[in-house]
Structure 1
C-alpha cells in the first residue's frame, strides 16, 4: 500500500537530484521537507524547483494554481530534527558510503520507528549502507534517474535486511507518483548500471581493435540498432570521468570479472581531462568551429538484377522481402542449414558470431560477406558488412550494391567476431540473462529498466526472444571461441533456453 498524501516526505540533499525528487513528491501532493548541510542550498531549492515548474505552465502541461499549491508544500528546514514526523526520508547526498551511513544513523535518532529510510545511490550496496542501523529492515534503495522530474524509471532496491513490506510500500508509492518502479536486489550497479556496461564496453573493444571508428559504431547502433545514441556520443554526454568511475566501481565490486573490465582507451581520456561535452573534448570535439566526422559509408555500387536465397534466412528474411519490393528478383533454393543470399557467387549472410574469414575457412567457400544485425531489417537505413580475408575483390562491391539496392547505406567494418550490433545486443542480453538467473530482478523488470532508464528501443531480453535463444547462444559461443576470454561466457540461462526451446517471457 502506498504512503498517503497525509504522509510527509523528506529529502536530504538539495542538489539537482534532491530537488528533482522533492519536486516529484510535491507534485504528487505530499508535503516535502528539504534539508541540506548547506542551509543556503535548502532555502534556494524551492525557487529553483518553481522555475522548472513554470516551464510546465508555459507549455500548458500544468496550471499556475497547481504550481502555487505544490510550491506551498515545499518546506526547507535547517535541522535534521525538523524531519521527525517524516514517513519517508530519501537521501541524495555525495556518492560515498561513509557520509551516507553517518547521515542515516543521525536520521534514525530523530525519526519514528515506522519511518522508511531510502538512499538514491546509483551504485553503493544497500546492504552496506544499512550496516550499523538499529532498524535495517526499514532501509532500502530508491534510485531515481537524472533528471528525476522527467525520467520515469525508479529502481527500488532490496538490501539483505530490508522488510519486503517496505519494498511493496515504496513500489506502490513511486507508482502513485507517476513513475515506473522496478524491483532489484542489492548488487553492484543494480539493474541499469550493471546491464548497460556492455553497451560501452563492446564499442570500446571494437574501436580498440581498429575495426571501426567511433562515428561509425555510433551510426550503426543508432540506425541499425535503433538506440537513441551510440556508445561514444553517450559516454561524451555522461562524462568519461563519471562513466569510467562507474565501470571501475562495478569491476571492483564484481571481483575483477572480465565482463566489466574498464577500457584503457577511456582511461586515457580521463587522464587527459577529455571528459566529453562538459570539457569540450571526448571522443568528439565540441569546441567552437569543430566538425563532427561522418561515419564510414561505402560509395555507390550497382544493384544486382536478381539473387537467390539459400536455406532459411532467419532474421534476414525481412531483408529479402525488402529487396523484392525494390525490384530485385529473389529466387528460392533449399539445401543448406546455413542460410545466405547468393549474389553472383558471393554468399551474403547474417553474422552468427564467427568472423567472415572463419566462415570461409569452415565452408571452403572464399566469397563470404557478413551482414550485421538490425532491430528491423524492413526499415533500417544503415547496415554494416564484413568481408572474408579470402574473398575476391568483387565480393564487397556485390554485397554493397545489394544492400544499397534496398535503400540501405553500407558501412564496411573490419572482419571482427560478432561485428557491431550483434555483439552489442548479445552481450546486453547475456548480462540481462545473468541478472535474471541470479535473482536480481525479473525479466520484465530488467527490460523495463533498460527501456526507461536508458531509452533502449526494446528490452534486451525481449530482443533476445525475437532473435531466438539458439541463435543467441551460437553467437556468444562463437565470441568465446574467438577471444578465449571469460568476458564472453554464455549465461547458463541462455544455454538452458537454447536447449529446451524456451523464452525469457514463456
Structure 2
C-alpha cells in the first residue's frame, strides 16, 4: 500500500523530455494535456477511439500553438518543433513506446478500466499510467490492472495549459516511487503539483463543496437572493466569484453531478448533501451560461444580473461602547476610531460587546441568531475589514429599527455598502469559511494531504483568497469550531457537526482543556469572545 499525499516524497525523477507521452481522449482536457506535454518538449501521441478525432484534435492543438506565437508567448521555431513532435495515433498499438500515458476519456469506471487493461497489453512494464479523472476512484480504476502499483491520478484543471494545479492522486496500491515520478513530471511541465490520497473529490472537489452548499442554503432559507449572496461573497469574503455566478459558469448539471458524486461516495454524509434548489434548476434545463439561463439570465451582451440588496444611507451612531478586544475582529475598533465615531471603552468583565446608543448590541456572526435575543444585529465575517467594500448585517424580528439603523450607519461610516439579510445562523461568509476550515482540518488529519498542499490546491484550483488552513489560523484555533457548534445546536441534522479533527485542533494548544459536556469552551480558550456575557438578555 502506498503512503498518502501527506507523506514525505521519496526521491524520483520526472519522465525525461525525450520520452514519448501519450494522451488518450482527444476532447478539451486531452488536447490541453497534450499541449502542456508538447510545450515541455515531449514527443506526444494523441489517440481517440472515435475515427478521425485524434487528427482533428491535433490540428486544434497546432492552432493553439499558432495563437501563442501571435501573442508573443512562443517563438515560431519553438512552435514548429512542437508541432513536429505531435502525432495522432490510429490505434493503441502506436503508443507502445510511451513512458507516460495520461487518460482523459468519459467519466465511466467501466470504460476507464477496459482502456487501461488494453493499454497494459501494449506499453512496457515501466510505463507510468495516469488518469485525469476528477470524480472516480483511482483505486477502483487501477484495481483491474496487472500492475496497479504504476497507476496514479494526474488531475489537471481546465484549461490545462493555463491553470497551474495538478492533483497527483495515490490509489490504495500506487507505489510511492510512481506517485513521485508523476509529481516530478508535473513540476517539470511548469505545473504546481499537490500530492493527495485517493478520497472522494480528492482535495479541491472535496473541500469546495461548502462554498456552493452554504450559498444555496442561505437562498433556500429565503435569507437573501443570489445577487446579494454573490456580492457578499465577493466584496466581503474576498472570493473572486460568488457561488451562483460560478456554478452558472461551470454548468449547473456539472456542478450538481460532482456534488452528488461526493455525497454518495461519502455514504450520503449530510455535510455534502446536494441542494434541492439546484436540482430544480437542472430539471428545468437552466444550466447556466451554456443554455442562456441559470441563476442569472445571459444574452449576447453577457450576464443580466440583478443588483444586490443595498441598504439606504443611514446616520452613524453618536458613539459606540466597546467591552473587550473584539478578537479576532479587533481591526474594526481602529476603523471606528478613524471614522470619527466616538468609541467608549469600558472595563472588561469577561465579555466582548459593541453597544449602540439605542441600547442594542452589534455582534460578529458566531452561529447564533438575532431572534434568540431582544435587540441584537449580527455582522458577517470579512476577509479583510479594511479592504471589504460590502458588509452583511442580520437582524431578528425583535431587533429595534433604531439598532438596525445605527448598525447600518456605522458600517456606512466605515466606507462599506451594507446588505441586510435574513436572520440565519452563521450568515453568509462566516458559515462558509467555518465549514471550509472544518473539512480542511479533517482532510489533513485523515492523511488526505498536507496542510501546505491543501492550501495550495484551494488557492490555485478554485482561486480562494486564502487557503482554509491559513484562514483558520488567522481567525484563531477555536473560531470555526465554535461557529459550527452553535449552528449544529440549531440544525442537529449533522450538516454542521464539527469534525473530531477540528475539535482536537481547536483545543489542543497550550494545555487548554476540551469543551465541557455541554459544548462550552474551556476557560483557557474562548474563541467566540466570551459571548455569553453579551447575551444576558437572551431568552
Q: TM-score range by the shorter chain?
A: over 0.9
Q: Following TM superposition, by how much is the alpha carbon of 1:325 offset from its aligned partner in structure 2, in angstroms? A: 1.9
Instruction: Give 3-state SS (helix, strand or coil) of 2:140's partner.
Output: helix
Decide which of 321, 324, 342 is 1:308's aligned counterpart.
321
Task: Give the conservation status (yes or no) of the 8 Å contact 2:438–2:481.
Answer: no
C-alpha deviations, 1:412-463, integer Å up to 9, x for none? Answer: 0111110000000011111111111211111111111111010011101110
C-alpha deviations, 1:130-157, integer Å up to 9, x for none? Answer: 1221000010111000000001000000
**1:49-448 matched pairs, under 5 angstroms:** 49-287=61-299, 291-344=304-357, 345-358=359-372, 360=373, 366-448=374-456
Residues 239, 336 of structure 1: alpha-carbon distance in 2 compared, 3 angstrom cutoff: farther
- Structure 1 outlier segments of 4+, above 3 Å: 287-291
Distance 2:85 2:351 in 1: 65
| 2:8 equivalent in structure 1 | none
Distance 2:115 2:508 in 1: 50
| 2:6 equivalent in structure 1 | none
Distance 1:22 1:338 in 2: 59
Distance 1:377 1:388 in 2: 23
Task: Give the conservation status (yes or no) of the 8 Å contact 1:346–1:398.
Answer: no
Instruction: Give 3-state SS (helix, strand or coil) of 1:494's partner.
Output: helix
> Does 2:24 correspond to 1:12?
yes
Distance 1:296 1:158 in 2: 46
Distance 1:54 1:411 in 2: 47
Instruction: Give 3-state SS (helix, strand or coil) of 1:308's partner.
Output: strand
Distance 1:70 1:327 in 2: 63
| 1:470 equivalent in structure 2 | 478
Q: Following TM superposition, by how much is the alpha carbon of 1:291 offset from its aligned partner in structure 2, in angstroms? A: 3.2
Task: Give the conservation status (yes or no) of the 8 Å contact 1:387–1:395.
Answer: no
Distance 1:337 1:284 in 2: 47
Distance 2:85 2:340 in 1: 64
**TM-score for both structures, normalised by structure 2:** 0.90
Distance 2:71 2:474 in 1: 39
Decide which of 458, 461, 472 is 2:469's aligned counterpart.
461
Distance 2:256 2:474 in 1: 32
Q: Following TM superposition, by how much is the alpha carbon of 1:60 offset from its aligned partner in structure 2, in angstroms? A: 2.1
Task: Give the conservation status (yes or no) of the 8 Å contact 2:472–2:479.
Answer: no
| 2:491 equivalent in structure 1 | 483
Q: Following TM superposition, by how much is the alpha carbon of 1:39 offset from its aligned partner in structure 2, in angstroms? A: 3.4
Q: Number of paired residues?
A: 497
Which has more helix, going by share of residues? Answer: 1
Q: Following TM superposition, by how much is the alpha carbon of 1:340 offset from its aligned partner in structure 2, in angstroms? A: 2.5
Distance 1:60 1:42 in 2: 27
Coordinate RMSD, CA, aligned: 1.5
Q: Following TM superposition, by how much is the alpha carbon of 1:370 offset from its aligned partner in structure 2, in angstroms? A: 0.8
Instruction: Give 3-state SS (helix, strand or coil) of 2:18's partner.
Output: coil
Distance 2:112 2:505 in 1: 41
Q: Following TM superposition, by how much is the alpha carbon of 1:262 offset from its aligned partner in structure 2, in angstroms? A: 1.0
Task: Give the conservation status (yes or no) of the 8 Å contact 1:432–1:446.
Answer: yes
**TM-score for both structures, normalised by structure 1:** 0.96
Name stretches of at least 5 consecutive residues in structure 1 with no aligned partner: 361-365
Instruction: Give 3-state SS (helix, strand or coil) of 1:39's partner.
Output: coil
